[in-house]
Homo-oligomer: A and B are copies of this chain.
């Protein structure tokens, strides 16, 4: 039997964040304390602390006496986040170019494998998450914790934005081997090429956005339960 380790507020955060990254928790979804208590089998106290952390990352909104809801970034916020992300990805790319070693290249290649596999398996949520996580792994290669953690945050928020405004019918980006080409450029220490691929990649992501609102309700148990 699996020993049930006592969950912390951070664990709960991560679980919820993952679902956001997988775009399985839609923006605007109301998160009630009671429901999450059941899902995670913990007390309200812990849930409330997790909410506090998530709200600090702008992954949920927390309004006094109104509770928590998955964040639903406005178009202008969306723009700011993509702008920030473009700048950060570029800055980190430069750092990564200088510092990437065998280990980080290997980690990136391994990640590409997993992306590929998820695509083959038709596991779309996993693939979406891995696509985002690629940029997180890439950021780690720059070996600057504050910066790569900030990028993490922007990647999470990007997921939220894509879930909200992403044009699902459009051919999904990242499938065109852009991630692979980025790793190649990194390995070859070809900063200019890497920058260009990244710029195109970011632009194509942002091009997916269509700013007309949609609204969805969801069942927390089925999403967070697993």
Q: Which residues of A contact B (CB under 8 A)?
A: 9, 49, 52-53, 56, 77, 80-81, 83-84, 87, 91, 144-147, 150, 153-154, 157
Asked whether A145 lies within 8 Å of B52 as measured between CB atoms, the reply is no
Q: Which of B49, B87, B146 contacts A52 (CB 8 A)?
A: B49
Kindly identify which residue among B56, B87, B146, B147 contacts A56, using a CB–CB cutoff of 8 Å. B56
Tell me if A's interface is mostly helix, strand, loop or mixed. helix
A154's nearest neighbour on chain B, judged by CB, is: B146
A150 to B49, CA, bound (A): 22
A153: chain B residues within 8 A (beta carbon): 146
What is the minimal beta-carbon distance from A144 to any residue of chain B, in angstroms? 5
The listed residue (B52, B83, B146) touching A144 by CB distance below 8 A is B83
